[in-house]
Structure 1
Amino acid sequence: MPTDVELCPLCGQRNRCSQVDPTSNGEACWCFSAPISAAALARLSAEQIDKSCLCPNCAKGVAACGDEPKA
């Protein structure tokens, strides 16, 4: 069962964050080199910025990826 830090706050899907994956051995996360949609960032609350990891689809700004932020 995934924990909250493993889930995208926008859609609730796994975010594939290597920073919370104990098997990644500190590898850089996919998001460190990926462009993140400004619209997706705007949908995060102030408390979620720099503390929550988006999934790749939400980070790209895919329209079908979570219409409302998860509480």
Structure 2
Amino acid sequence: MTDIDPTRCPLCGQRNRCAQADPAADGTSCWCFETAIDPVALQRIAPESVDRACLCPRCAQNLPPEDEPT
């Protein structure tokens, strides 16, 4: 079984900015409470990561990855 980091997006591995996983947030509501999450993005999450790590804002909206600098 893989260790799941609740501060990282389970789809792209970038920081997810989840207030629920950040002890410094001290009960602050997470950005995702106010954002529509694309159902297709939710379907892409591996079963072992469901309810264990939040998506990042980009993956939650099912946006394409940013272009890599050349």
Q: Give structure 1 stretches of 5+ with no counterpart.
A: 66-71
Give the Cα–Cα distance (whole angstroms) in 1 for the partners of residues 14 and 20 of structure 2. Answer: 16
- The CA deviation at 1:39 is 1.1
Which TM-score applies when normalising by structure 2? Answer: 0.79
In 1: Cα distance, 2:25 partner to 2:16 partner: 14
Structure 1 segment 1-71 matched on structure 2, within 5 A:
4-64=5-65
Query: C-alpha separation between the residues in 2 aligned to 1:48 and 1:6?
Result: 12
How many residues are aligned here?
Answer: 63
- When Rg is computed on C-alpha atoms for both structures, the one with the higher figure is 2
- CA distance in 2 between counterparts of 1:10 and 1:44 reads 7
Share of identical aligned residues, percent? 49
TM-score, normalization: structure 1?
0.78
Rounded Cα–Cα distance in structure 2 between residues aligned with 1:18 and 1:35:
17
Moved beyond 4 Å, runs of 4+ = none
